[in-house]
Amino acid sequence: MNGILNVQQLNVEVASKKLISDISFGLDQGDYLCILGPNGAGKSTLLKALMGIVKTASGDITLNQQSVSQLSQKQLAQHISYVPQAHGRQLNFNVADFIKMGRFPYHSAFSDWTSTDKQAMDRAIDITNISDFLSRQMQTLSGGESQRVMIAAALCQQTPLLLLDEPTSFLDPHHQVEVHQLIRQLNQQHNISIIEVSHDLNHAAHHSKHILALKNGKTLWYGQSVELLQSSHLQDLYDQQFVFTPHPQTGAMVALPCELSNDVS
Amino acid sequence: MKPFNILILILVATISILLISPYLGLNSSTNPEIQQHILTQLRIPRILFAFIAGAGLAVCGMVFQAMFRNPLATPFTLGVASGASLGAALYVFLGFSFSIMSIDGSTFAAFLGSLIAISFVYSISRLRSGFSTETLLLTGVAISFFFSSLILFTQYLSNVSDSFQILRWLMGSLTTVGYRDVLQLLPFVSVCIAVILWLSRELNLLMAGDDIALSRGLAVQKTRYLLFFVTSLCVGAIVALCGPIGFIGMMVPHICRLLIGNDHHWLTPATLLFGGCFLIICDTIARLIIAPAEIPVGVITTLLGGPFFLWLLIKSRNKSF
């Protein structure tokens, strides 16, 4: 495979507990991969392993045919950026200062802020449309604003690959749509490859290119997103019945979870 | 107000304090020669020493707050200062007496003590994932108790004069310093502060948490070890010479954060200047409040610091930065 990212037989153990076993997948430039799975399946751990936040026990991760074990953390951050699960509003920083930190991978201790840095920052601010609250404190932002700032900070790193951990989970429907639109725009207009951990099945099925479904740290299913709603994958994945029905507005098939038949007494 | 302007204000205040404080409490009725002697041989070195020690303690406190992402985490509250004290107390008790490159052995003993304490706190707080404020502070309290009881033990076994010497020193005092002490302390504190100034960007990232720091490309572990090393060195050197002067490392950086924000490019110089001034002011109070006698400056800082600590604890419960 000639992709930008290639993961072979990845295993992750934390405190001798196996969180990820033998996961393999690849990504081409401009791909959009969604990782689905029940809580505790190892989705976030997988992203963290890619970002070098958790150590891998065995397996290979290669970026442009180069093993990540040969890259320093700084070099890795020039290839991959990461938006962690929502905690932007717990950070006590000024928005502009926080976005500026995204240029860290390109700096050594004594290097100055250059026009390249400024351009990268302006561009990130422009794409995410956050110029109105640059001088505010992170803690004063709304959920949607905070998520746009987190994405802007990652964009500032100018990486070909962006990892997002449940970027819309805590947002209201309007902001979910807004953030997803932004992610699609990054993917389609700016040719940034995306890996997104998500619980939004219908979004994943219709807007991503590939889906990796994880359960108990193992790959349950990996394939083209359009196939997700055409089989029993969902039921196996979540141990939950789904019904499928065309969206009244778009006509696209959507999955809805069934009511539980045997109630807990 | 812009951070730059605030920094200039702090700088102006620092210079005024450095210029005025030597003259406070000089008795004008004494012989001018004696006055001159007091000023040049006692006051000025003492004030220089207070400035350097205060700056060092405040900056080390700032680094701990950033690394542990907690305004209550400082070398003093986490038991690192007690570790240093134990090191220095053992040095006195065991009757060692050596110096390397004219640096007194007690400095090395205190450095070792603080390094051991810091490794304890860090590894214990890593046992369970995430540093909750409670775990962290309780670890610090436990370690402080442990080291304090060992210090008491060494004191109990010492003769009366050694024991009294240890006790006075444990209160944190600047009474006896001369130019020699200033020169002993200066290299340690300046190296430490230089490294910390050099790592401003890294400190900002550490404050954002490990995940974000790593994803921005910071080698978190390496940076942390470097910071542990230099802060241990700095705290060890200060404690060896003037005892554990408490709470400066908590109050000063916190006040500076409120004044100038959390960007360490501005925060470090502000903390440094403010910390130096703060200890000079506390020492001047300690010197004048029951003149002609003095009280140890550690008593003053702890009297101020205790309530401040409680206020922060109540205010910041279950909330990191």
| pLDDT, average across residues A212-216 | 91
Q: Which residues of A touch B214 (CB under 8 A)?
A: 51-53, 73
As a whole number, mean pLDDT of residues A137-166 equals 91
CB pairs under 8 A between A and B: 77
* In the predicted structure, residue A247 carries a pLDDT above the cut 80: yes
pLDDT at B267 over 90: yes
Amino acid A15: pLDDT: 76
Are the beta carbons of A80 and B261 separated by less than 8 Å? no
Higher pLDDT, B179 or B173: B179
A5-257 folds as Rossmann fold (3.40.50)
Which chain A residues touch B126 with a CB distance below 8 Å? none
Measured between CB atoms, does A48 come within 8 Å of chain B? yes
Those residues with Cβ within 8 angstroms of residue B186's Cβ, 6 or more apart along the chain or in another chain? B52
Q: Average pLDDT, whole number, for chain A?
A: 88
Among B46-60, B82-96, B106-120, B131-145, which range has the highest average pLDDT?
B46-60
For chain B, the distance separating the N- and C-terminal CA atoms, rounded to the nearest angstrom, is: 22
| pLDDT bracket for residue A1 (50, 70, 90) | very low
Q: Of B179, B56, B55, B166, which is closest to residue B111 (Cα–Cα)?
A: B56
Say if residue A134 is exposed, middle or buried (CB neighbours under 10 Å; 0-12, 13-18, 19+). Answer: middle
**A77 has a chain B CB within 8 A of its CB:** yes
> Are B88 and B242 contacting, i.e. CB atoms less than 8 angstroms apart?
no
pLDDT over 90 at A35, yes or no:
yes
Chain B environment of A90 (Cβ under 8 Å) = 319-321
Would an 8 Å CB–CB cutoff place B66 in contact with chain A?
A: no
Place of tokens 């020669």: B33
pLDDT at A237: 87
pLDDT in tens, B295-304: 888 888 888 8
Taking residues B70-96, report their average pLDDT. Answer: 82
Task: Return the pLDDT at B202.
Answer: 92
Q: What is the ipTM of this complex?
A: 0.89
Question: Chain B window 257-296: which residues touch A at a Cβ cutoff of 8 Å?
Answer: 261-263
Q: Cβ of B216 and A76 within 8 Å?
A: no
Give contacts of A117 with chain B, Cβ < 8 Å: none
Residue B226 exposed, middle or buried by CB count within 10 Å (0-12, 13-18, 19+): middle
Does the pLDDT value for residue A156 go beyond 60?
Answer: yes
The pLDDT of residue B72: 81
pLDDT tier at A17, thresholds 50, 70, 90: confident
Greatest alpha-carbon span in chain A: 65
Q: If you average pLDDT over residues B273-293, what whole number do you get? A: 86
Determine the pLDDT at residue B4: 86
A77 vs chain B: nearest CA distance in angstroms?
5
Domain boundaries along the sequence of chain A? 5-257
Residues of B in contact with A94 (CB under 8 A): 261-263
Q: In chain B, what are the domains?
A: 46-315 (1.10.3470.10)
With CB atoms and an 8 Å threshold, state whether A82 touches B207: no
**Cβ within 8 Å of residue B98, ≥6 positions away:** B105
Instruction: Indicate the pLDDT class of residue B103, thresholds 50, 70 and 90.
Output: low
Asked if B201's CB is within 8 angstroms of A90's CB, the reply is no
**pLDDT at B102 (0 to 100):** 65
User: Shortest Cα distance from A56 to chain B (angstroms)?
Assistant: 15
Cβ-Cβ contacts under 8 Å, A91 against chain B: 208-209, 212, 321
Kindly state the percentage of chain B with pLDDT values over 90: 17
Give the CA-trace dihedral at B172, B173, B174, B178, to 10 degrees. Answer: -100
Minimum distance, in Å, between the CA of residue A262 and any CA atom of chain B: 38
Please give the average per-residue pLDDT across B160-164, as a whole number.
Answer: 79
Q: Does A88 touch chain B (CB under 8 A)?
A: no
Contacts of B16 (CB under 8 A, 6+ apart): none
**A-chain residues near B215 (CB < 8 A):** 51, 53, 77, 80-82, 84, 154
Using the structure block, give the residue that is written with the tokens 């219709």. A206
